[in-house]
Structure 1
């Protein structure tokens, strides 16, 4: 399928780098909250660590599109890679190692700046170099590589490593993946010709361009509404790893390894569904797909993620069902990058910055909502809150206007595809 995409083949190494880098970034995602509570801290304190991290990720994600446009995506990726390696080391030694809750908040929080600078700068490189009508499909591949890294390798490998070397050893194991992915991306993408039209702008003009990443929310109402939908998009992806380990291992009796494998199944499914929805959205319409399969689908899947295991108890195979459902539905939001780029064709950097900001805010708000609700109510009310947000986002899609002519497949195209398949 990659050979059908009309872009610089060197970009393929960027996709590989994302998979490797996000493997290291994902190691702690599904067990760190439990590890912190096992050290004697409360559920709310553990959620707060992720909340600070998400806030930093949101700020970095917001600025990454414009910064990448102003200094080139490759340089921004280098900054993100170096920050991650240094701050992770400080988090493990001074935060968890002492242990010191202030240093946990500080270094893990600041580390939240790192991964968005790396991966979302690559998104900017995609937007700059891939034809407009292929951005959705290319982003399908991007999110598939993201899923392979943060979800599949990032979940399954720790499930086998933790029984052998423990949680702390598994966290140290992330560094070689970060270094390998960082070097691969920075070195092999350096020759990809990015748009450097804004690199040499005077400082005042660069600051003006950076300010667009804020003002565009007020000058383009469709960007604002898309931003809200994008925040809701991954609310369960960032929220469930914080609350569900407490539910699965604390209430239902699953082991940490079993939970990691269940969460890994969710990401394993998205490897294929990200590519699938990236293509299908070109035919059935971006907004229609996001409304019904994304928003409504995720609302149903989120409720199933709690109630199916709650009803059937410690049943590993039943618990896989909602993970698969969520993996199918959350990927239906893949065309959002193309929607943002089309809504602001003359300021793609600012538009992508808003897209990235929204992704970062999702990373922040998901654990923040959980942290607040868990202070007063049982865990199931967090699931209710996430579900309500998906329904709200579905309604909001009716008010977004974006120019897209869905493709129509003719009989001649089908025959051509079949003939091509027979000769490959």
Structure 2
């Protein structure tokens, strides 16, 4: 009787990692990064021209300001909800909700509100569209935090912020600059809708990693407890609260600078408007590259260390340089571009915070990310508010020092963001671990080592 020949008896061949894995992009989520990039390009198309376009169409500057304020409020709430709802529904359903909201309210705005310049309908459609991009993009960020290998999580979130800021405002504004002269401002808004639809479909149809298809909260946890757990987590785990404050400080000066620096550079320093806009483009272009650099660096030297020194200490120095270099050296444009690039680079030093925060509460990663996003949303109001309060009495110089002080504070706070695994290691070495630690058996990454 013939016998079948046995297969090879040697050791199994090790499968080579995919090129995405070698770059630090989780293989199962790779299409999602592309989807977020295309989605945020579509979302960012309007960022540089929607305000003057609406004024040109007949709205007063005050009404446009109110429109953007409502948008900011809804976006801030949605940023918080993205993490909480991911715990409750699963990240993919949250992304679907954001995608549907963006597309639906954009169609309402472009088909009816903008042609008629119906202000209440503009407030409704554009204001509520603000829930779209945070649910979509930050829902995917929670998905990354829940599934990426912890030793490469910093790199993975670096790629997320590369896609996010690459679209909004960088490539989105670039697309608008080419399209508006060709097809006009109104049709460009319709084109942005097409990009958002394309990006949403790429992410929602091609990402099949199963963790994001189900809720992240423990089985049996009540919906309201899940939804508001991020707020309760701030009290139960003070380090989550500190992390939210650090995240808020990260972009408080960024939003404040957009209020006070345009006049400073054009009126005091003497740059033209086009020079200022190019300087801003350089700042964010450098930021995009360093989102990746500091994501990788955080995995190598520790997330907490990177946030404290590259983000907090780095931004303390570069924010002061952003004011004093053009003031003391006469506004030499090359030097202005250099310090703008340095500030954009150090601003990316906070990227590993998106990896560190869920590791502070491994059993409630969605709630921890919700707290992180709550800090991000708060910065959209706190930055301009600080400028409004202090620009008059203290001038630009005083405001810059306030922002530099906040950055220094964030660096100090970041040093206290030790994970439960670090605390267990300290106790094993006989050192006391200050502060309450959430009960969990989930190991935190070794990459977030202490100083």
Does the TM-score normalized on the shorter chain lie above 0.5? yes
Per the alignment, do residues 407 and 358 of structure 1 end up closer, same or farther by CA in structure 2, a change over 3 Å counting?
closer
User: Which of the residues 255, 260, 274 maps onto 2:291?
Assistant: 274
Q: Are residue 121 (structure 1) and residue 121 (structure 2) matched?
A: no
**2:30–2:207 Cα contact (<8 Å) kept:** no
User: Unaligned stretches of 5+ in structure 1?
Assistant: 409-424
Per the alignment, do residues 103 and 269 of structure 1 end up closer, same or farther by CA in structure 2, a change over 3 Å counting?
same
Q: CA deviation at 1:18?
A: 0.9
Match of 2:406 in 1: 389
Paired with 1:104 and 1:374, the residues of 2 have a C-alpha distance of 31
Match of 1:53 in 2: 71
Q: Are residue 173 (structure 1) and residue 182 (structure 2) matched?
A: no
Summarize deviations over 1:369-413 as a string: whole Å, max 9, x none.
Answer: 4455578876666544433322222232344333264589xxxxx
Per the alignment, do residues 122 and 391 of structure 1 end up closer, same or farther by CA in structure 2, a change over 3 Å counting?
same
Aligned residues: 405
Per the alignment, do residues 195 and 178 of structure 1 end up closer, same or farther by CA in structure 2, a change over 3 Å counting?
closer
Summarize deviations over 1:135-176 as a string: whole Å, max 9, x none.
Answer: 111111111111221133123333444455555554443222
Q: How does 1:19-418 map to 2 (within 5 A)?
A: 19-33=37-51, 41-42=60-61, 48-91=66-109, 98-99=116-117, 103-164=121-182, 167-190=185-208, 192-194=210-212, 196=214, 205-245=222-262, 252=270, 254-255=272-273, 258-308=275-325, 317-370=334-387, 382-402=399-419, 403=422, 405-406=446-447
Q: Which secondary structure state, in structure 1, belongs to the residue aligned with residue 94 of structure 2?
A: helix
User: Which of the residues 29, 37, 40 maps onto 1:11?
Assistant: 29
**1:156–1:261 Cα contact (<8 Å) kept:** no
Per the alignment, do residues 215 and 395 of structure 1 end up closer, same or farther by CA in structure 2, a change over 3 Å counting?
same
Q: CA deviation at 1:277?
A: 0.9
Root-mean-square deviation over aligned CA pairs: 3.4
Q: Which secondary structure state, in structure 2, belongs to the residue aligned with residue 29 of structure 1?
A: coil
**2:158–2:351 Cα contact (<8 Å) kept:** yes
Paired with 1:242 and 1:36, the residues of 2 have a C-alpha distance of 19
Name which of structure 1's ranges 386-395 and 99-108 shifts more when overlaid on structure 2: 99-108
Paired with 1:394 and 1:377, the residues of 2 have a C-alpha distance of 24
Match of 1:414 in 2: none
Name which of structure 1's ranges 75-84 and 368-377 shifts more when overlaid on structure 2: 368-377
Name which of structure 1's ranges 66-75 and 329-338 shifts more when overlaid on structure 2: 66-75
Summarize deviations over 1:39-67 as a string: whole Å, max 9, x none.
Answer: 6745x765554443222222111111221
Q: Which secondary structure state, in structure 1, belongs to the residue aligned with residue 159 of structure 2?
A: helix
**1:26–1:155 Cα contact (<8 Å) kept:** yes
Name which of structure 1's ranges 145-154 and 218-227 shifts more when overlaid on structure 2: 145-154
Q: TM-score under structure 1 normalisation?
A: 0.82
Q: CA deviation at 1:210?
A: 1.7
Q: TM-score under structure 2 normalisation?
A: 0.77
**1:63–1:213 Cα contact (<8 Å) kept:** no
